[in-house]
Amino acid sequence: MPSLGADMESGTLVEWLVHEGDTVHRGDPMAVVDTDKSAIEVESFDEGVVESFLVEPGTRVAVGTPLASLAPAEAGLSTAAKARVPKPRVPVPLGAPPLRHHAAELGVDLTRVSGTGPHGEVTRADVDRAAAEARAGARPGTALVRPETAPVRPVARGTQVSPYARRLAEELGVDLARVSSTGRDGAVRAEDVRRAAEASARPAASAPVEAREEAPGAGEVPESRERSARATIAALMSRAKREIPHYYVATTVDLSTATEWLRRTNRERPVSERLVPAALLLKATAVAARQHPELNGFWADGRFVPGEDVHLGVAVSVRGGALVAPAIHHTADLDLGEVMAALRDLVKRARAGRLRRAEMADPTLTVTDLGDQGVEEVIGIIYPPQVALVGVGRIVERPWAVDGMIGVRPTVRLTLSGDHRATDGATGARFLNTVEQLLLHPEEL
């Protein structure tokens, strides 16, 4: 169980993404872990063959607990492990989204349908035939998903949902708020989503499920994820304020040049690739952090440890009131288009619970931007073991004097929270001045 942040002492294994006998390479996603704040994909640290799983899904274990064992790829599996490996299934092309939607309407599980199209592709006729055969009882259980006998519970707000189940729900058009869960601790599994798709296609078949949902105790859910997330954040922020001697510096930056440059640049870009001010602010912060490396790193073992590169953490609010700050790796080396694409991707995956271990463990400096919430100034708490945090407010038009003339300019309020053990206010002031100068020349970013 890897450490996915300074506030993490234990985690819950939600789902395995590989099987025993699979060959994995360094960086391949192997499992999904719940950290109380978000579900995160954990990558393999080594290459090899999955020999055995040491922790079952739904189990909460301490950081550092072995989750699985790998055998060297060249050595292969042990005899006992080979006996446990299921025979591989030949993947079958499942067709385009319209076909999957048609299958969902009929309650057909495409993974159990034999395809007659080119290269084994499942066709609409195959789906219709499978539905007819299952209704007639010719091949019971082959195509239609049968409700499980396990007790079910209605999904409550904050309930764990595996990333695969979430993606399947999007494909099948299933509302997760209406799905009854059968997983451990109330977690929603892919099979729960398939059963819900069948029930929505055949209302009469859902009556037994509804009856079970009303059974005594069925509405009980595990501890609120929101409460757990707040407790985790409270513990970390209390530690930060107790242990880190904070100092704060702030400045107001004229963004008229930057916003005008954005307008000209965006006219030449496709709509999907247009930039927003946040991309400029992130890139300027990353370049400034490279020029002032004493703010880009960690306080560990009583001394400052510089970061290997600038990996900006971006604070993102996710479901249940949690806050995560995953990293955009090598931010200073990306062009503005790449920063914009990385920001969109990171926010989307953070809110869908599909972050990766490295994104949570690697940030060297965090940026929190509450401008979209109408806040003009953010004075944040440093995320340990980092030594600084940059706060960004909303862009506001203010009276601005230039060469003795007053005009109205778009401005933004930037703040730096610094760790006085690593730096002092003069360092923070030079950092903000560098950010300001970079924003005055956006074409150089």
pLDDT along the chain (445 residues), means of 10: 77 87 87 78 87 89 90 64 48 51 68 66 75 62 40 49 66 71 65 70 38 36 60 86 96 96 94 94 97 96 95 86 87 96 92 82 93 92 96 96 93 98 97 97 93
What are the phi and psi torsion angles at 316 (to 5°)?
A: -130, 130
Q: How far apart are CA 91 and CA 120, in angstroms?
A: 9
Pairing of strands 180-181, 153-154: antiparallel
Distance CA 185, CA 192 (A): 14
Q: What is the pLDDT of residue 226?
A: 66
pLDDT for 143 = 43
Q: How far apart are CA 383 and CA 98, in angstroms?
A: 45
DSSP-derived secondary structure for 148-215: PSS--EEPPTT--B-HHHHHHHHHHT--GGGPEE-SGGG-B-HHHHHHHHHHHH-GGGGHHHHHHHTS
Q: Give the model's pLDDT for residue 125.
A: 74
**Which H helix or E strand runs over 341?**
helix 336-352
Number of Cβ within a 10 Å radius of residue 181: 25
Question: Which structure tokens are listed for 194?
Answer: 């398939």
State pTM to two decimals: 0.60
pLDDT of residue 87: 44
The pLDDT of residue 140: 42
List, in sequence order, every beta strand (DSSP E) within 257-338: 297-300, 303-306, 312-314, 316-317, 323-324, 327-328
Tell me the per-residue pLDDT of 358-404, one tens digit each, with 9 for 90 and over.
888 889 999 999 988 899 999 999 999 999 999 999 999 999 998 89
Q: What pLDDT score does 160 carry? A: 63
The pLDDT value recorded for residue 98 is 55
